[in-house]
Amino acid sequence: MNRNNNGVYALIIVAALAVVSVAAWFAIKPEPTLIQGEVVSTSVKVSSKLPGRIDSLFVREGESVTKGSPLFVLSTPEVNAKLQQAEAVRQAARAQDSKAKFGARSEEVQAVYNLWQKAEAGYELADKSYARIEKLYKNGVVTAQKFDEASANRQAMEATRQAAKAQYEMALKGARIEDKNAAAALLNQADAVVAEVSSMQSDARQYAPFDAEVATIIAEEGELIGAGYPVITLVNLNDSHVSFNVKEDLLPKIKVGKMVKGYVPALDEEITLSVSAIAVQAEYATWSATRTKGEFDIRTFEVKMTPQKQRSDLRPGMSVVVNWDTIE
């Protein structure tokens, strides 16, 4: 009987020692170094350079859009009016440029040519008359007065012929090079104005810059917005990373390109991350006592890690936990 009691007591003592040992082990077991990060996705606030009233919205919050999909369009009657004005100015400049480039019309050129031919005929008649009068004058048949008159008439017709020829040549050549350059410059200026206003008009319609999900719609249809006012926020779920704030004494374990395992509580799944960037400058300091003489602040750096495989169910704001002790 005593032997049985002794055996029971021995078992109780052994069990008690085991419990105490386990409790002591858990008491002195070091806590794992868990670093919690947050998923961050690329987001864009879509706005227009123009002020105006939202005429139509083509998307809703939570909707997925593809690159190039229409998002919204503004009503901008002022810009449309300016475009009409710019088009009218360009048409006038184009007409001036055409006139300077191609010169007078064919009917005008023909009329100037006819005047030149008439002057040529008048000069030939004056030249022949001068030749006859000159012979008669030398023979003493006509007076010096008649000879002077024939000579003056011949000179006048020569000047008329030269002037008519110059007018014809000018009509053929068109405007001077300076006039042509000035007309071309005015046309270029008008083209630039039309292009500028057309660009403004096209900016009234906005499209998705990439495949994304509509996160928020800030303004509604019929609302008047200013230039640059954000209307829609898009989030690219296929361009995400995880941001961690890591103390500087933990940085020696990682470098850019290092592969790390992270646990996502929202997905109850472990994913593989790659260290893509380590901040070159500390974000802030946290106080930590050290074993060395004195105490100092330990700086904290932002570390970005990119999922090895992008996935749309990894949404912004989700937590990702990394056990730093498992990093080799």
Q: What is the mean pLDDT of residues 247-262?
A: 92
- % of the chain beyond a pLDDT of 90: 30
User: Smallest Cα–Cα separation from 77: which of 46, 48, 50, 49?
Assistant: 50
pLDDT at position 3, please?
54
How do beta strands 34-47 and 319-323 pair? antiparallel
Q: What is the pLDDT of residues 195-254, one digit of tens each?
A: 777 777 778 889 999 999 999 999 888 888 888 889 999 999 989 999 999 998 889 999
Q: For 288-309, what is each residue's pLDDT tens digit?
A: 554 554 556 788 899 999 999 9
Structural tokens at position 252: 């020696």
- pLDDT of residue 42 exceeding 60: yes
For 27-41+237-326, which CATH superfamily applies?
Answer: Efflux pump adaptor protein, beta barrel domain (2.40.30.170)
Do 197 and 25 form a contact (C-beta atoms < 8 A)?
no
Look up tokens 């440029």; give the residue. 97
**Section 51-57 average pLDDT:** 89
Provide DSSP, 141-177. SS-HHHHHHHHHHHHHHHHHHHHHHHHHHHHHH-S-H
Q: What is the pLDDT of residues 77-88, one digit of tens each?
A: 777 777 777 777
Split at pLDDT 50, 70, 90, the class of 1 is: very low
